[in-house]
């Protein structure tokens, strides 16, 4: 997915190119694929692919069979490239296809769904931050007490912690998920010496809650494991401050990209009439 920086560069190139193209259009000129591609730093094959995929309207052909693009195609390409950073390539392509076949309600529904996903991601980030504040404050809302079993007078004392079932229930996940996290080294439960069952101590519960919230935020297991390793090594949650800052920045960039995409799409819709 293009970055916000590359999007700004492409839009500046487009506007500079579009000004000179406009003079050609006033004289009845048309654009070749290379003319359309140059303003965005694209290959001519990419432009042809976008047309074949329905992202651009179908081009007219010259008597020799060459594609002939117009101002409308230039606007369509600018709209797609502006939509992609905020909505994702696939959704941006679907929006443009819907617009090009006249299904504006369908295009607007796709845009609404992207905004809804962004809002849900913001809620998830807020939930992660709340969970981390609770963890930092030492709040232990889940089960974490001495397991039932023989005490000092009746044999070895059972370790403090919780079993896999209660922890999975607290997190709203399946025990199999916790076992998968153990294989990925997100949690490292001990084994109860009497039963052989997994026992999750306070640090394990912290790591499981953290993994759960980060998974909700879209982080893959491969990225979560190093973070939890840093938390263990540091003895706390300080290393996650940079992750949360990055998460905030990515959500803000996504929201701003959606605004830029909306402006370029509106320009394309006006051009379509």
Tens of pLDDT, residue by residue, the chain (273 residues): 444 445 555 555 555 555 545 544 434 568 889 998 988 889 999 999 999 999 999 999 988 888 999 999 999 999 999 999 999 999 999 999 999 999 999 999 999 999 999 998 888 788 777 767 766 665 444 444 444 444 444 444 445 789 999 999 999 999 999 999 999 999 999 998 888 999 999 889 988 988 888 887 777 888 888 878 877 776 667 767 887 888 899 999 999 999 999 999 999 999 998
In the chain, what is the greatest distance between 2 CA atoms, to the nearest angstrom? 99
Beta carbons of 131 and 210 less than 8 angstroms apart: yes
Q: What is the predicted pLDDT for the residue at 21? A: 52
Q: What is the predicted pLDDT for the residue at 147? A: 47
Q: How far is it, in rounded angstroms, from Cα 109 to Cα 131?
A: 33
Burial zone of 263 (CB within 10 Å; 0-12 exposed, 13-18 middle, 19+ buried): middle
Q: What is the predicted pLDDT for the residue at 179? A: 96
Q: What is the predicted pLDDT for the residue at 213? A: 81
The angle formed by the CA atoms of residues 209, 217 and 119, to the nearest 5 degrees, is: 130
CB contact set of 203 (below 8 Å; sequence gap of 6+): 232
Q: What is the predicted pLDDT for the residue at 131? A: 66
Closest by alpha carbon to 247, among 139, 136, 127? Answer: 127
Q: What is the predicted pLDDT for the residue at 163? A: 93
Q: What is the predicted pLDDT for the residue at 242? A: 80
Closest by alpha carbon to 42, among 34, 31, 52? Answer: 34
Number of H helices, E strands in the chain: 11, 6
Q: What is the predicted pLDDT for the residue at 5? A: 46
Q: What is the predicted pLDDT for the residue at 134? A: 66
């Amino acid at each position: 997915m293009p970055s916000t920086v590359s999007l700004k560069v492409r839009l500046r190139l487009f506007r500079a190119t579009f000004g000179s193209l406009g003079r050609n259009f006033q004289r009845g000129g048309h654009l070749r694929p290379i003319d359309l591609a140059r303003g965005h730093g694209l290959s001519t094959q990419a432009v042809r692919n976008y047309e074949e995929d329905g992202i651009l309207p179908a081009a007219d052909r010259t008597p020799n069979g060459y594609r002939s693009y117009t101002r409308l195609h230039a606007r369509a390409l600018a709209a797609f490239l502006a939509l992609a950073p905020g909505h994702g390539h696939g959704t941006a392509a679907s929006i443009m296809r819907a617009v090009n076949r006249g299904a504006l309600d369908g295009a607007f529904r796709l845009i609404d769904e992207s905004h809804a996903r962004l809002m849900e991601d913001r809620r998830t980030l807020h939930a992660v931050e709340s969970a981390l504040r609770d963890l930092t404050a030492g709040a232990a809302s889940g089960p974490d007490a001495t397991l039932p079993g023989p005490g000092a007078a009746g044999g070895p004392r059972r370790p403090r912690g919780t079993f896999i079932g209660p922890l999975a229930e607290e997190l709203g996940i399946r025990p199999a998920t916790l076992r998968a996290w153990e294989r990925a080294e997100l949690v490292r439960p001990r084994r109860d010496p009497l039963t052989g069952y997994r026992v999750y101590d306070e640090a394990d519960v912290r790591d499981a809650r953290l993994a759960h919230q980060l998974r909700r935020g879209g982080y893959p297991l491969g990225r979560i494991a190093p973070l939890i390793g840093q938390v263990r090594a540091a003895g706390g949650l300080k290393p996650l401050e940079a992750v949360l800052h990055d998460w905030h920045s990515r959500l803000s960039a996504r929201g701003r990209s959606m605004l830029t995409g909306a402006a370029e799409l509106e320009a394309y819709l006006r051009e379509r009439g």
